[in-house]
Structure 1
Amino acid sequence: MASEKSKILVFGGTRYIGKYMVKASISLGHQTLVYSHPINHKTSSSQIQLCQEFISIGATLIHGELEYDQIVTAIKKVDIVISTLAYPQVLDQLKIIDAIKTAGNIKGRNTFFKIFYVTYFVS
């Protein structure tokens, strides 16, 4: 079971802690999706470069705002959700939890732990 590969969705994957989660997930052989804001004229060159790096190492980028329907659609594609959104985005984290419940496909009993571990205990 430990060698089982998963489809993992990382919210906040282009930020400080998130980029390490994405790289670790890919290095362990998991199919990794990164949910991030759409790239536009305000996007920093370092963030654009990071997105290009993720694509080159095999990540799939999902660009969108944190709107409920978009979140549910993304979650339906994966087995595990990791959120590295910062503390000020706590209400967005609640949207993600609700979307996990709606999607109904996240494996494991510890969904709460999976989504909040990174934000509250690692950062």
Structure 2
Amino acid sequence: MPLFEGPGHDAVHVSEIGLASTDDSIIVARAAADDRTVVSCDHDFVQLLYASGGTKPSLLLTRKVDTLTSTELAELVLAALSRELMDFLDAGVIATLTPDRVRVRPSPLRPTTSSVHKK
């Protein structure tokens, strides 16, 4: 049974599919294959998605949520899942969710022009 389920939502925990103690790159590959979004507070997923150069899977990165209970965090995630955000996640993005806001960056991530140096 999914971790939490609601209209249009189906979530599973990595432990439910035997990936609790596996490398993050395997989780990313499985999420992409299953057309799922990774929800995590682990910033390593951003680096993996950046390195992949791909658009899938999407990532919902939670930040500044250390003081929230699991129930409060689930409520925050569900409240943020507007139709607009879900459309972005379906297209392939990295969305950063804090208790105050959601910031969306399209995938694949690319260096900004200010970080590219020409010789």
Give the shorter-chain TM-score range: 0.3 to 0.5
Name the one with the larger helix percent: 1
Quick check: which has more Rg, 1 or 2?
2
TM-score of the superposition, structure 2-length normalised?
0.36
Higher RCO (CA < 8 A, seq sep 6+): 1
TM-score of the superposition, structure 1-length normalised?
0.35
